[in-house]
């Protein structure tokens, strides 16, 4: 039981950390290919 609870804690911590890190990164096609506003195409 203790191992199960600890695994849930680990799951929550890893998931939260992933959310924080991934929100700083481009994760969609629009993020990847969006042009900067000062660039004229």
Partner 1 sequence: MTTRSTGRSIGRRVLTAAAVLAGLALALTLGLSSVDAQQAPSSSVRPPPGASVPGGPNVVAPERPGNYDVELWKKVREGLSGQVSIPDRKAGQLVQSDGEAWRNFRNGPLPRVGLWAMVAVVGVLALFFLLRGRIRIEHGWAGRTITRFTEIERIGHWLLAVSFIILALTGLNVLYGRYALLPLIGADAFSAISIAGKWLHNYVAFALMVGLFLTFVVWIRHNFPSWRDIVWLAKGGGMFVKGSHPPAWKFNAGQKILFWLIMLGGLSLSLSGLALMFPFQTALFAKTFAIVNMLGFHLPTELTPVQEMQYATSWHGIVALALIVVVIGHIYIGTLGMQGAFSAMGSGQVDVNWAKEHHSLWAEREIERMEATATAETGAARPAPAE
The residue count for the chain: 41
Q: How far is the CB of 37 from partner 1 (least distance, A)?
A: 13
Q: How far is the CB of 19 from partner 1 (least distance, A)?
A: 5
User: What tokens does 38 get?
Assistant: 């000062």
For 14, list phi and psi in degrees, rounded to 5. Answer: -65, -40
User: What tokens does 7 get?
Assistant: 């695994």
Binding string, residues 8-37; x marks residues near partner 1 by CB under 8 A? x-xx--xxxxxx--x--xxxxx--xxxx--
Q: How far is the CB of 31 from partner 1 (least distance, A)?
A: 9
């Amino acid at each position: 039981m203790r191992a199960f609870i600890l695994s849930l804690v680990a799951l929550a911590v890893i998931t939260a950390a992933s959310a924080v890190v991934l929100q700083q990164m481009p994760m969609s096609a629009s993020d990847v290919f969006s042009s900067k506003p000062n660039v004229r195409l």
